[in-house]
Structures are given as C-alpha cells and as structure tokens.
Amino acid sequence: MAADSQLITKQPHKPKLAVWKFASCDGCQLSLLDCEDELLLLAQEVEIAYFMEASSAVVEGPYDISLVEGSITTPADLLRIQEVRRQSNFLVCIGACATAGGIQALRNFADVSEFTSVVYAQPAYIDTLKESTPISTHVSVDFELQGCPINKLQLLEVISAFLNRRAPQVPPHSVCIECKLKNNVCVWVAHGTPCMGPVTHAGCGALCPSYNRGCYACYGPKENPNSDSLCHWWEQKLGANKSTVIENLRNFNALAPHFKEVSEHRERGDKA
Amino acid sequence: MKEIPASGNSKTIKVDYLARVEGEGALFIRYDDDTVHDVQLKIFEPPRFFEAFLRGRDFSEAPDITARICGICPVAYQMSALHAMERALGLVPTETIRALRRLLYCGEWIESHMLHISMLHAPDFLGYPSAVAMAGDHPDIVRQALEIKKAGNALVRLIGGREVHPINVRVGGFYRLPSLASLHGLRPQLAEARKLAEQMARWAARLPFPHCEYAYEYVALSNPNEYPMNEGRIISNRGLNITAQDYEKHFREEQVPHSTALHSVLIERGAYLVGPMARYNLNFPQLSEPVRRIAGELGFKPPCNNPFKSIVLRCFEVLYAFEEALRLIDQYQAGGEPYLTAEPRASSGCAVTEAPRGLLYHRYSIDRDGKIAFAKIVAPTSQNQKTIENDLRLMLPKFMHLSEEHLQGLCERAIRNYDPCISCSTHFLQLHLQHEQRGSP
C-alpha cells in the first residue's frame, strides 16, 4: 500500500482528492456528482483538488487520494498514468475500464488497425495502442472498486474508509448472496434464465435478477469464481449456445484475469 | 494545423484541457487584431471503436453495449439502439412500453440537464470554478439543483434499475414493468422537484448573458402530438423534413486532423445545430401550457438565437420533463406483457432519438442469426462541433477589447453552451499530439 499512514493525522490541511479520466464513458466519475445528498458534505471533508469534469480550479499535486477512471489505450496515457501514480499517495481504480480494460478491451481480441479503418476514413490521424489495459498493468494500485458502473455508495465507503484509515467494506462474494439477502426468487432455478450471478462480484444489489433478468456480469468476477463450471451448466442445462456464453464472459470486464482465461478456453473448445 | 501568414499582432488562445465538459477536449485559436485565422476545438478523448467491436455481437446486446459510450446519457444510446433494432425486426412497441420509454427519457433529460445547468454551466455566469465553490455563496441554488437532479435520477432508477447504464430496457420493451404503486410513490418527489425547477428557470432567466445572436440552421425531431423524444421527423428551420431512413442522404461525417471526433455536416449546407436550442425553437407549440406561459413571462418566446441563453432553455426542458413525467404517471395503465419478441432475421434498421444534447442516430444491419454485421452511430456533439467552432469565429471579433484572460474564459464558456459530451462525440478518437503538449496531469 502506498498510503502514508502518517499523512492524514499529521497534516494540517484537508486531504486532497483528485479524479483522473482515461478511456471511459465518464459514468464512474459521474457517480461522485450523483451523490446529491453527500456531495457538499464530502467537500467539507476533502479538498477537491483536481476534477476537470466538475471544476476549472486545479490545485497542484501531490494528492492524498486519487480516483482513476478509464483504461490505458494511447501512448500519451501510458506516460500520464505514471505521473498520476507519482503524484498520488493512495490510488483507487474505479470501474470496469480501470480495473479490467472496459468494453473497449474487446479490441484486444481483434485487429485494431482494421477497427480504426472501420470508424475513421483516414486512420492515419488516429493514434492508439493495440490493446486497452487496466491501470494495474502499468502501476501499482491501492484499491480496485469493480463495476460498470461502480456503485456510488461503495465509492463513498471507499473514500470514507480512506479518511478514517480503515479497510473498505466491499464484500467480494457473489451476486447470488445479494439475491438471497433481497429474498429474490432465483431467475435461473425458477425460470431457467441464464445468469452470471454465481460468478459475479457483488455490489450492484442483484439488480438484474430483481428485474427478472439474468445477471450479465457488469461487476466482473467475484473472488474464486468457477466460471468454467457455470458455462458448462449454461450449455448443458439451459441450452445456451457457445457464442452467448462467450459474450457474457467477454463484455465489460473482458480482461479480468479469470473471465479472459475461461472465454479463451471456451472459444478453443477446451473441456473445463 | 494550417500555417498562417506572419503577422506582428498574431495571438493565440490555447486551453490544453477544457474543464467542466464531459470528456477530454482542448481549444486552439489563432487570431490578430482584425481576423480570427484558425479555430480548433480539439478532441483528444481516446478512441474506443464501438462501431467496430459491435460487429459480431448479438443484436440484443446493442442497448447495453452502446450505453457505455456515455455515462451521462446512457438512456439516449439505449433508446436509439433499441428503436433501430425494432425497426430491423419489425417490432412495434405497445402503448405502455412507449409511455414508459418516454418516462425514462424524462428522467435522463432532467438529470443530464441539471448536471450541466448547475455544475458545469451556472458557475460560468457567477464567476466560480465549480458548483462546490458556488455553494459557499449560493447554497440554496446548489441545493435546489441537487434536489431536482436527484428526482430525475430517482425516475431513471425506478424504471431503469440504476442511474448510470440502466439494466431494465431491452429490444422489444422492458424486462419488468414498474408497478402502478411504485410510480405513484414517486409522484410527490416529482411534484416537489417540479416547483423547484420552475424557480430554477426564473433564476436562470435573470443571469447576465453576453449579447451574441447568430443565424443557425436548427435540426431536431418534430412530432405534431408531443415535444420530441423517441419519435418524429427530422426537420430544420430551413426546410429540411425527412425520416430517419433518409438521414445519411442528407448528413455526412467528415474527419479532420485535429479531432478524434468525426464532424457531421448537412450535405451542401454545412454546419447545423442540435440540442435544446434547436428543439425549443422548432417545437415550442408542443411544450405544455405552463412552460409556454412561463417562457412568455420571462421574455423567452422563440426564436432564441443566443447560445449563452441555452441554460434557460435547458431549465424549460427540465420543467417540461417533470410535467410530462407527472402526466405519464397519471395516465399509466399497469399490466400487459413487458416485452415483445421476434426471431432474428437478416435485416437493417435505423432510428433517431433526442438525447439531452440533441439528435442521436443509430443504424444497424444484422445477419440471420441476429449478430450485428454493421453499426453506425452519430452522436450529438459530433454534429455540433463545427457550429461550436463557428460560434467562436463569429464571437471573437466583438470581444477583442477584453484581456486575453477574459477572452479565454469567454471562449470556454462559448463551448460549454453546448454541453459538449466529448466521451460521446469521439467515436472514439485520439488526436495526433504533434503540435501541443497536454497540460496535465
């Protein structure tokens, strides 16, 4: 952990918070502005020192806590993330782009020069890396908050934990546990709906099953998932075809180590 | 970047990283005492290639995947995507589904507009770097704005499941219909926020506006029965009147070296304007009676051709969205199937809906297994980008007497007038940084 435990108690000023954007949709940093009831309170506890989407005032680093949204996709951003790390005591990745490359990491499974020519008439103007990678590929990170998008209450919990120098309470169990806690009827068992819940990290509050929909794993893998087994059940018992199985492992968290591995097994047709 | 003749008085305005816009953009202007030589709204948001990686994905995934283009207006992407897919599959949504989609869009207009009004735009008029700083001196305005925004988010959350990237919409309808009781439960909060929205409009109308009026070609959906969201013909104040199917015959995207966002133009006519100012000027009669009355009282009857006043028009649209939401809730008939289904078939479909920032066009082709073979997306900010540059070009000569610092601030404000969403407009681009270095981190 890069956090300097001396920092919070000894420094006379409010902790400085910075929000950084890399390749992303802005939705995770927006979660901070969506804290309508807490935003002004938060601003009393921390100095919002760098947050380009919300403020044109920039306070020089270093920063006590940095929230990093987005994945690394350009040569310039490869350098910028190093500088962000140098300027940050405690670096928190927020969202699937920062923790697992995001939806734009689908390029990693394809030919990016062909992608550029599909979108742009003159691809020569476009400067991009072959792969979209999570922040942790490039620098050490102090905490990763999963989700596409993140849960704003979990974000407040992470900031609050940092301010109070304790570990964030972000349970790593599955969406299934959240369904049980909500007394949801299981969409898989009761309706035969393919659901990624058993392997997906909690945090959304089991939203999709609460709306009669199978989970599509936007929070990425839970701790120790067995996705190969899940895929087997999807195919054998629920009649899901191979492309559906791969699409559900390979969407917003396609590079999460476990999902990537299993989607590649499945693509090659390996046995679990 | 083109070279200009050497001039003793040549000056530049350079903003390396525009603040209080969604996404990453920069501004470069070169001018002298007489002429503006070059204006570039540069977009260096990294490319994300949605149109490319959508190919091969299942048609049913388009609303969820394209939502991730923008965390601020995901509902707009979902709406354009699913209407395009439904046209491809020959699905016609039921009245209940139609009404709920409109209700969901009301929620997004409210939260997206209020984000811009209070957090990105209002600080400009009152001289603060941010809404948090503004809250020190104007606590009531900021608190009220947050209350209004919260009500919009509550609406999106109830129907869509969550504020950012809602999960409840699907091609053919919704996964689950909300209960009548849950909609009625939201009514008091919406009614209360509606009152605050009216106060906000009255407050915004009194802000000091620079005198800038331009002759724009406004382009928006129009529908004789209602203020446009999901349906209507594409019209303009200069005679355009087409369906979404003909969009690509009339509009073309061009790539310019200084931007990863494609610029969209009306073929043989050039720049045009989409968003609240276009909708308002073209569809004023379809607004509710109270909104029209309040607009009249405040001296804001159309046409409104001053882009700095767009903050007031956004307030009017927020007020309208609350009235429309309350009307839709009162008329809501519970029951019926939550969604329609159709077997995939080889087909194509396109749709245009009104995102908070303006027209959002999607076109897809799918194969007989329902996999996407082709995708094209034109976001509102790509369409406004050329108009933003034109505004700066026209505005500067009038304000040359200002100090450079003030001039730069005014230019940034002129860009913020459009609530540019750069994350959207880049279908995903990266600027070649051969000329300027980024100022960050």
Domains with residue ranges and CATH for chain B: 92-212+309-341 (1.10.645.10)
Q: Which residue has the higher pLDDT, A270 or A272?
A: A270
The predicted model gives B399-411 an average pLDDT of 85
Question: Do residue A149 and residue A225 come from a single domain?
Answer: no
CB contact under 8 A, A218 and B165: yes
Question: Do residue A181 and residue A254 come from a single domain?
Answer: yes
Range scoring the smallest mean pLDDT among A21-35, A201-215, B181-195, B396-410: B396-410
- 3-state secondary structure at position A144: strand
Cβ count within 10 A of residue B286: 17
Minimum distance, in Å, between the CA of residue B237 and any CA atom of chain A: 30
Q: With beta carbons under 8 A apart, name residues in chain B contacting A112.
A: 49
Q: What is the pLDDT of residue A124?
A: 53
Of A26, A211, A218, the CB nearest to B23: A26
Task: Kindly state whether residue A189 falls inside one of the protein's structural domains.
Answer: yes
Residue A235 clears pLDDT 90, i.e. is over it: yes
Question: Do residue A75 and residue A51 come from a single domain?
Answer: yes
Quick one: tokens of B274? 């989409």
Task: Kindly state whether residue A73 falls inside one of the protein's structural domains.
Answer: yes
Of B47, B120, B175, the CB nearest to A212: B175
Question: Do residue A180 and residue A249 come from a single domain?
Answer: yes
CB contact under 8 A, A73 and B24: no
Please give the C-alpha separations between residue A123 and each of A67, A77, A126, B363, B429, in angstroms, as whole numbers: 32, 19, 5, 22, 10
Quick one: tokens of A123? 């691809």
Residue ending a domain, choose from A102, A135, A163: A163
Q: With beta carbons under 8 A apart, name residues in chain B contacting A218.
A: 165
Question: Do residue A207 and residue A145 come from a single domain?
Answer: no
Please give the C-alpha separations between residue B323 and each of A7, B37, B103, B289, B320, in angstroms, as whole numbers: 50, 46, 11, 10, 5
Of A52, A58, A213, the CB nearest to B167: A213
CB contact under 8 A, A127 and B431: yes
Mutation choice for A interface testing from B51, B137, B164 by most A CBs within 10 A: B164
Question: Do residue A43 and residue A90 come from a single domain?
Answer: yes
Minimum distance, in Å, between the CA of residue A57 and any CA atom of chain B: 5
Question: Do residue A128 and residue A28 come from a single domain?
Answer: yes
Minimum distance, in Å, between the CA of residue B147 and any CA atom of chain A: 7
pTM of structure = 0.93
Count residue pairs from A and B with Cβ separation < 8 A.
215
pLDDT in tens, A169-220: 999 999 999 999 999 999 999 999 999 999 999 999 999 999 999 999 999 9
CB contact under 8 A, A76 and B52: no
The predicted model gives B390-394 an average pLDDT of 92
Residue B34 clears pLDDT 80, i.e. is over it: no
Residue ending a domain, choose from A129, A163, A197: A163
Task: Kindly state whether residue A168 falls inside one of the protein's structural domains.
Answer: no
Amino acid making up residue B12: T
Question: Do residue A134 and residue A197 come from a single domain?
Answer: no
Question: Do residue A153 and residue A195 come from a single domain?
Answer: no
pLDDT in tens, B63-89: 999 999 999 999 999 999 999 999 999
CB contact under 8 A, A118 and B55: yes
- C-alpha span between A146 and A151 (Å, rounded): 9
Task: Kindly state whether residue A187 falls inside one of the protein's structural domains.
Answer: yes
- C-alpha span between A245 and B13 (Å, rounded): 52
Task: Kindly state whether residue A1 falls inside one of the protein's structural domains.
Answer: no
Minimum distance, in Å, between the CA of residue B253 and any CA atom of chain A: 10
Task: Kindly state whether residue A261 falls inside one of the protein's structural domains.
Answer: yes
Backbone dihedral angles phi then psi of residue A27, each to the nearest 5 degrees: -65, -35
Please name which of A50, A51, A33, A53 lies closest in space to residue A42, comparing C-alpha atoms.
A33
Q: What is the pLDDT of residue A119?
A: 66
Q: With beta carbons under 8 A apart, name residues in chain A contacting B153.
A: 34, 36
Of B48, B174, B430, the CB nearest to A127: B430
- 3-state secondary structure at position A55: strand
Cβ count within 10 A of residue B28: 18
Here the CATH number for the domain that contains residue A63 is 3.40.50.700
- C-alpha span between B34 and B110 (Å, rounded): 42
Structural domain boundaries, residue A232: 175-268
Diameter of chain A measured on Cα atoms: 62
Task: Kindly state whether residue A169 falls inside one of the protein's structural domains.
Answer: no
Question: Do residue A67 and residue A120 come from a single domain?
Answer: yes
Question: Do residue A54 and residue A149 come from a single domain?
Answer: yes
User: CB-based contact (8 Å) between A112 and chain B?
Assistant: yes
Residue ending a domain, choose from A128, A163, A198: A163
Domain count, chain A: 2
Question: Do residue A97 and residue A223 come from a single domain?
Answer: no
